Structure 1
Amino acid sequence: MGIKGELKEAAGYVKEEAYEHGNSAEAKEKAQEGRDLRNEGRIEDGKAPKTTKPGTDN
C-alpha cells in the first residue's frame, strides 16, 4: 500500500461523503469527482475500484 494511494482514497471518500446528498448538478459532479479520486487511490494500492451504488456499503 502506498501512502499516496491511501491519501487519494481518503480524500476521495471525504469529498464523496460531503456532496453525496446534494441535489444540485454541482453537488453530483463533486461527489463523482470524489468517487473517481477514491477509486484512483484504490487502484494505485492494488485494490479493486468500488463499483456499487454509493451508500450501499457493499
Structure 2
Amino acid sequence: MSIKGEIKEAAGYLKEEANEHGKTPEAQKKAQEGRDLRNEGRIEDGKAPKSSTPGTGEK
C-alpha cells in the first residue's frame, strides 16, 4: 500500500461524501470526481475499484 494511494482514496471519499446528497449538477459532478479519485487510489494500492451504487452499502 502506498501513501499516495491511501491519500487519494481518503480525499476521494471525503469529496464524495461531502457532495453526494447535493441536488445541483455541480454537487453531483464533485461527488463523481470524488468517486473517481477514490477508485484511482484503490487501483494504485492494488485493490478493486468500488463499483456499487453510492449510498447503498453494497459490498
Verify same fold: TM over 0.5.
Answer: yes
What's the TM-score, normalizing by structure 2?
0.96
Q: Name the CA distance, whole Å, in 2 between partners of 1:2 and 1:56.
A: 28
Amino acid of the structure 2 residue aligned with 1:57: G
CA root-mean-square deviation = 0.5
Q: Give unmatched runs, 5+ long, in structure 2.
A: none
Note the residue ranges of structure 1 that are not aligned, 5 or more in a row: none
Is the counterpart of residue 2 in structure 1 residue 16 in structure 2?
A: no
Q: Counterpart of 1:28?
A: 28
Q: Percent identity?
A: 76
Q: TM-score w.r.t. structure 1 length?
A: 0.97
